[in-house]
Homo-oligomer: A and B are copies of this chain.
């Protein structure tokens, strides 16, 4: 078996060569399997094929390892959100919803990172690097909210962008956290988490005075103020209430 890296590189002897990275990957895999509390420092070491004491050369303790993973997670999260936002192209509203889907997709595709970031108990505010990375990720959501807030139709009070960002983030995190991953420890849903979030965000935006249908209403050439603020059908499809 490959209890050492029997890859391209000539078989590693005494020295691993890239243990820090290997430990991060090993921990990531273990978190994905059993949750952020479901692995031990020794597990990570064994999974990387080194002795239990080796990780201490690279991380002060397990928390520092988790914090490193969380930081890397925030960086990837920021990249994903930035790409989804795409500076608001082709139009602000659809880009905004793309960010929401990207949020859920990240939580679903990278549950290990997401757990480390939000559910591992890592104190974000204590570590400046981690805190800054988290702030950069949130800044994407906030920037999107700013652009969206600037689009409020005339005659409607403009909402504070920060509050909007916090609301959207909270709903996204709540959905991801409660229903996002098929951990078998989560609750069943009558719809996909993505649909639930999209409907929620659409209703929320309508509550702020945005027109509800998906006409691009290209902000570069704003057509006219909406004449019917409450359209007849909502964003939740055609099912009637029970």
Q: Closest B residue to A231 by CB, please name it.
A: B157
- Asked whether A187 lies within 8 Å of B125 as measured between CB atoms, the reply is yes
Q: A173-B178, A200-B204 are in contact. Are A239 and B160 (CB under 8 A)?
A: yes
A236 interface neighbour in B119, B160, B200, Cβ under 8 Å:
B160
Chain B residues in 8 Å Cβ range of A146: 242
How many residues of chain A have a CB within 8 Å of chain B?
A: 67
- Asked whether A161 lies within 8 Å of B241 as measured between CB atoms, the reply is yes
Q: Does A175 contact B (CB under 8 A)?
A: yes
Chain B residues in 8 Å Cβ range of A121: 35, 37-38, 185
- Asked whether B171 lies within 8 Å of A171 as measured between CB atoms, the reply is yes
Q: Does A51 contact B (CB under 8 A)?
A: no
Chain B residues in 8 Å Cβ range of A189: 166
- Asked whether A167 lies within 8 Å of B190 as measured between CB atoms, the reply is no
> Which of A1-9, A91-99, A206-214 faces chain B?
A206-214
Shortest Cβ distance from residue A25 to the other chain B in the assembled complex, whole angstroms: 22
Q: Does A221 contact B (CB under 8 A)?
A: no
A contacts, CB < 8 Å to B? 35, 37-38, 118-119, 121-126, 134, 146, 149-150, 155-163, 166-167, 169-175, 177-179, 183-191, 196, 199-200, 202-209, 212, 229-230, 232-234, 236, 239-242
Given contacts A122-B185, A159-B234, 7 further A-B contacts (CB under 8 A): A119-B119, A121-B185, A134-B187, A159-B203, A160-B236, A163-B196, A172-B174
